[in-house]
């Protein structure tokens, strides 16, 4: 893998593979031996950025990842991106200085490492002043426990306020945003966040890049749904006329490019200006190999134009 395939994260020194592996499945959807196998396959395929959060399986995702890193002895080969802020129990949430220092130590222990490459606010905390949050993050960067900080689920207005606070006080700034973004969910990101991130040089690592699996094509009209909360969420959010129209176009493009719908959906995100990497999970080695194909898939102008038009939110 040449360094040309890596993408800079904001103004930081982190260089990220164009597909980030999502570990929300660890400790929940797959057992530990399978988790180790898919993580091995991701790294063998050239991947280097692994996304997790303290709240995923209430810490077990980080713990599985930590055991894998210790077993493989590959800490210097991977970029660990984790998050804090969602509730981990009574009194364990938010972005106060006290809780940030508590949460980072807990994540470091579970991950079995002494530093986190990308530490992200999982969501905004309007009850804590941004100056307090960013000062705490800055202290951790200076201590060497964090390399870079990022934000997830922030509005453009709050991102602007945060960057202003960092500049005013000389604190480390948010270098990345992790927004909800896929071919169906475009408006919230493209309307305000995309131009803001491009203007200020923030990296963008998208989550729900496959629309909770809907864009893989496994949810079809007239077919019985899996018995899961995720399937119910997909049904209520994506299984409608617009969703199936977009999926049909993804499948048409996939057929023309001899690719899978998942590869097309990820390749479209990768091709967007300002995108660092989409996050996508895999539960098998075969899925890892499939998703890796999205990095090599080059959609032609006709394919991108047709996907843009079919999924346009301005209509």
At residue 314 the predicted structure's pLDDT band, cuts being 50, 70 and 90, is: confident
The answer to whether the beta carbons of residues 87 and 55 sit under 8 Å apart is yes
Taking only the tens place, the pLDDT of each residue in 213-257 is 999 998 887 777 666 677 778 888 899 999 999 999 999 999 999
Average pLDDT, integer, range 250-272: 98
Predicted local confidence at residue 1, as pLDDT: 39
Does residue 285 belong to any structural domain of this protein? yes
Does residue 223 belong to any structural domain of this protein? no
Query: Which spans in 122-209 are helix H?
Result: 130-143, 156-169, 187-188, 194-200
What gap in Å lies between CA 50 and CA 66, rounded to an integer? 11
Mean pLDDT of the chain: 95
Q: Domain of 50?
A: 14-213+260-298
**Secondary structure class of 22 (helix, strand, coil):** strand
Report the residue count for the chain. Answer: 315
Catalytic residues: 56
At residue 315 the predicted structure's pLDDT band, cuts being 50, 70 and 90, is: low
Does residue 270 belong to any structural domain of this protein? yes
Taking only the tens place, the pLDDT of each residue in 30-64 is 999 999 999 999 999 999 999 999 999 999 999 99
What gap in Å lies between CA 6 and CA 185, rounded to an integer? 25
The answer to whether the beta carbons of residues 149 and 120 sit under 8 Å apart is yes
Does residue 198 belong to any structural domain of this protein? yes
Domain with residue 158: its CATH number is: 3.20.20.100
Predicted local confidence at residue 313, as pLDDT: 93
Does residue 287 belong to any structural domain of this protein? yes
Predicted local confidence at residue 3, as pLDDT: 36
Average pLDDT, integer, range 21-26: 96
Q: How many domains does the chain have?
A: 1
Does residue 19 belong to any structural domain of this protein? yes
**What percent of the chain has a predicted confidence (pLDDT) above 70?**
97
Instruction: Give the residue among 125, 75, 129, 72 at the shortest CA–CA distance from 103.
Output: 125
Taking only the tens place, the pLDDT of each residue in 200-214 is 999 999 999 999 999
Does residue 220 belong to any structural domain of this protein? no
Does residue 104 belong to any structural domain of this protein? yes
Predicted local confidence at residue 278, as pLDDT: 98
């Amino acid at each position: 893998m040449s360094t040309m395939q890596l993408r800079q994260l904001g103004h930081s020194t982190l260089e990220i593979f164009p597909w980030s592996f999502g570990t929300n499945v660890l400790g929940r959807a797959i057992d530990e031996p399978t988790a180790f196998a898919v993580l091995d396959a991701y790294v063998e395929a050239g991947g280097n950025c692994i996304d997790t959060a303290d709240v995923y399986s209430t810490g077990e995702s980080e713990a599985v990842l930590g055991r894998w890193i210790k077993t493989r002895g590959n800490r210097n080969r991977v970029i660990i991106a984790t998050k804090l802020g969602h509730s981990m129990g009574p009194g364990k949430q938010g972005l106060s200085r006290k809780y940030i220092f508590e949460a980072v130590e807990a994540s470091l222990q579970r991950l079995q490492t002494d530093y986190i490459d990308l530490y992200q606010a999982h969501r905004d905390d309007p009850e804590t002043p941004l100056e307090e949050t960013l000062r705490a993050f800055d202290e951790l960067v200076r201590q060497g426990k964090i390399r870079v900080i990022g934000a997830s689920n922030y509005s453009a207005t709050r991102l602007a306020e945060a960057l202003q606070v960092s500049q005013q006080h000389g604190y480390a700034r948010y270098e990345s945003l992790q927004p909800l973004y896929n071919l169906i969910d475009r408006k919230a990101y493209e309307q305000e966040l995309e131009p803001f991130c491009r203007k200020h040089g923030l990296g963008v690592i998208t989550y729900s890049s496959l629309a909770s699996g809907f864009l893989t094509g496994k949810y079809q009209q007239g077919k019985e749904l899996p018995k899961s909360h995720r399937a119910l969420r997909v049904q209520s959010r994506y299984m409608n006329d617009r969703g199936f129209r977009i999926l049909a176009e993804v499948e048409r493009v996939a057929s023309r490019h001899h690719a899978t719908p998942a590869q097309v959906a990820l390749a479209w995100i990768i091709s967007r200006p300002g995108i660092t990497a989409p996050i996508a999970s895999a539960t098998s080695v075969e899925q890892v190999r499939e998703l890796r194909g999205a990095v090599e898939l080059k959609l032609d102008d006709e394919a991108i134009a047709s996907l843009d038009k079919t999924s346009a939110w301005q209509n």
